[in-house]
């Protein structure tokens, strides 16, 4: 699946009106001979609400610096998500680490049935109606990354059917 994402064209973040959303801040302590050294890591999702979304993590000794680093990483890793109106075109499932995420399309007016990291990623992407299920690990970072993998793997069904028909025809000849 990693090869699939490398074939996508790079999205220029400067052309989009992106909204950043902080998902999680973690305080990390390193114990040294002289005492404890505090640092912070931040998990941020950014998107334009029109099918572009990215997540990033940043680490620093200060919270604002960690958030700024995470924002810049998220802007560098934007992906385009295939939408079908206000939902996704079909059911998709993805795993990252111990987190397993299931995303299902929903009827118009259903709303976002999701929690935590999945909700943040889906809302920032611009999806209005979706059903989700998070299984396995509840680690916020892994759940967010699994959600991103699921959204990035979505393809336009009509284009995919045409591609498969062309491949079958070529195979027959």
Rounded to whole angstroms, the Cα distance separating 11 from 46 reads: 13
Q: Quick one: which of 45, 33, 37, 32 has its CA closest to 61?
A: 37
- For CA atoms 42, 135, 47, 74, the dihedral sign is positive
Give, as one character, the DSSP assignment of residue 137. -
pLDDT score at 9? 58
Average pLDDT in the 65-74 region? 94
Predicted model pTM? 0.85
66 versus 51: the higher-pLDDT residue is 66
Residue % of the chain over a pLDDT of 70: 94
CATH of 2-156, one of 3.30.565.10, 3.40.50.300, 3.30.230.10, 3.40.50.920: 3.30.230.10
């Amino acid at each position: 699946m990693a090869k699939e994402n490398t074939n996508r064209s790079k999205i220029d973040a400067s052309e989009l009106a992106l909204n950043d959303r902080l998902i999680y801040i973690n305080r990390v302590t390193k114990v040294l001979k002289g005492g404890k050294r505090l640092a912070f890591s931040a998990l941020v999702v950014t998107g334009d609400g029109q099918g572009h979304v990215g997540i990033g993590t940043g680490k620093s000794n200060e919270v604002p610096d960690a958030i700024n680093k995470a924002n810049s990483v998220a802007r560098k890793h934007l992906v385009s998500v295939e939408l079908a109106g206000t939902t996704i075109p079909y059911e998709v499932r993805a795993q990252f680490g111990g987190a397993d995420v299931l995303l299902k399309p929903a009827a118009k007016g259903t709303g976002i049935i999701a929690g935590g990291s999945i909700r943040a990623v889906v809302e920032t992407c611009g999806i209005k109606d979706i059903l989700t299920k998070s299984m396995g690990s509840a680690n916020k970072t892994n759940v967010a990354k699994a959600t991103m993998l699921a959204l990035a793997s979505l393809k336009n069904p009509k284009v995919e059917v045409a591609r498969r028909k062309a491949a079958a025809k070529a195979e027959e000849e």
